[in-house]
Amino acid sequence: MASIKMRFRESTVEGKMGSCFIQIIHRRKIGVLATGIKLHAWEWDKASNDIRWTGGDPRRQVIVQAARERLRLVVNELRDIIGWWEVNKEEYTVRMIVDEYNRRLTKGTLFSFMGGCIEELKGVGRERTSGTYCSTLKSFKDFRQGQDIRLNEISASLVKQFENYLKSKGVCLNTISFYMRILRAVYNKAVGNGLIREDHFPFRKVFTGVERTVKRAITRETVSRLLELDLRRKPNLDFARDLFLFSMFTRGMAFVDVAHLLKTDIVGDEIVYKRKKTGQRIRVKLLPYVLDIIHKHRIADENIPFLFPLCYCPWTRKELSYASALRKYNKALEELSKILELEKPLSSYVARHTWATQAKRKGVALAVISEAMGHTSENTTRIYLASFNEDVVDKANETVVLDFFT
């Protein structure tokens, strides 16, 4: 049976890290498998032929521990390959062992597999979801410093290290949970496809729930100041201000839905659209203030289906990505926040918080507004709203909006 030994080759250049590799011996033939693991000479124990940690920078400790874990997984994979041939009494060579390992490596890495998932999502038109997968993959690549990993190398300790890395970067708990849920979905798909032989439940020790966030509503006085700003010489800020008010005056319409509104969504004296997030059909009565914003910023070209120039630029006659529109919008809101001297900057989500908070302050029934920022499930929101006539909800909206102008 072939033997496997872990080896380390010091660099001939002073101060440069050496390489860790695997030596495979079978029938007096010797083969070498590169692992891509780079180590300092003092991180290798010559006596035991193993990686060791001697203390120092805790960030380096994470890398060394991950390298040690990866090295063991490589050895286990090679033993699995050799074991299969031994059990089936098939002839094999050192070259065949290395080739089989490389074949498995190419097929079952996280970066390549997740990239395939992203392309699948794009192929079925789920651009927004594919974008969240791209963000998650980018964060994980940054964590790994660009080093790919086998799918079966995803362990509880590695996932926990990723969580700690995100926390050290100041990423909020809900965003961390979001990344973890996406990675878990990718992992489960790999299990379902047979690329991971045994589910080790690596996400059991990390947070994948939802932390209730602090309300980020602005006050009635701040809304009044926003309305009174003279932004005629700053058209980009004027547009962002109007979009923020539009979202608020349409019962906290999410920016993704504002960006994708079509001219055909204006039906009589209502806006009728489907929420991008849930597919729920929403009807909103057009109040005078909303109509003013529509008339001011509506794309004039009737051949263009979009209502606002967010996902389409009338000047260049090109479609724009939603992500780009959101970035520009939030950047403009940050500038408005500085003008208003706000402690916490405005964002696309603040409009939703503000409408819900103002509705609650005005005594609108919680069931009508669905306490939108407090529910942990979209289904609960639907259940509450389904029991009310749309006129009741529109009346509640009118009560809230009028209060900003009195």
Residues 266 and 343 in one domain: yes
Residues 17 and 100 in one domain: yes
CATH of the domain at 131: 1.10.150
- Number of domains forming the structure of the chain: 3
- Helical pair 390-403 and 235-249, crossing angle rounded to 10 deg: 140
Residues 309 and 236 in one domain: yes
Residues 327 and 308 in one domain: yes
| 326 within some domain | yes
CB 261 within 8 A of CB 272: no
DSSP 212: P
| 393 within some domain | no
The reported pLDDT for the residue numbered 333 is 95
Cα angle 21, 137, 34; round to 5: 10
Residues 237 and 295 in one domain: yes
Domain with 7 in it? 3-57+72-104
Per-residue pLDDT tens over the stretch 355-401: 888 887 877 777 776 643 333 344 443 433 344 455 656 676 777 77
List CB contacts of 210: < 8 A, sequence separation 6 or more. Answer: 174, 177, 376
CB 237 within 8 A of CB 336: yes
Nearest to 27 by CA among 96, 94, 75, 85: 94
Residues 268 and 325 in one domain: yes
Q: Over 80: is that where the pLDDT of 229 sits?
A: yes
What is the strand order of the sheet 266-267 is part of?
A: 266-267, 270-274, 281-285
Per-residue pLDDT tens over the stretch 241-285: 999 999 999 988 889 899 999 999 999 999 999 888 777 788 888
CATH of the domain at 334: 1.10.443.10
For residues 100-110, one letter each, b for 16 or more C-beta atoms within 10 angstroms of the residue's C-beta and e for the rest, the string is: bbeebeeebbb
Does the model's pTM come out above 0.75?
no
List CB contacts of 217: < 8 A, sequence separation 6 or more. Answer: 350, 353, 354, 356, 357, 358
| 254 within some domain | yes
Per-residue pLDDT tens over the stretch 137-191: 999 999 998 888 888 889 999 999 999 999 888 888 888 999 999 999 999 988 8
CB 287 within 8 A of CB 397: yes
Q: Indicate if the alpha-carbon torsion angle 383, 384, 385, 387 is positive or negative.
A: positive
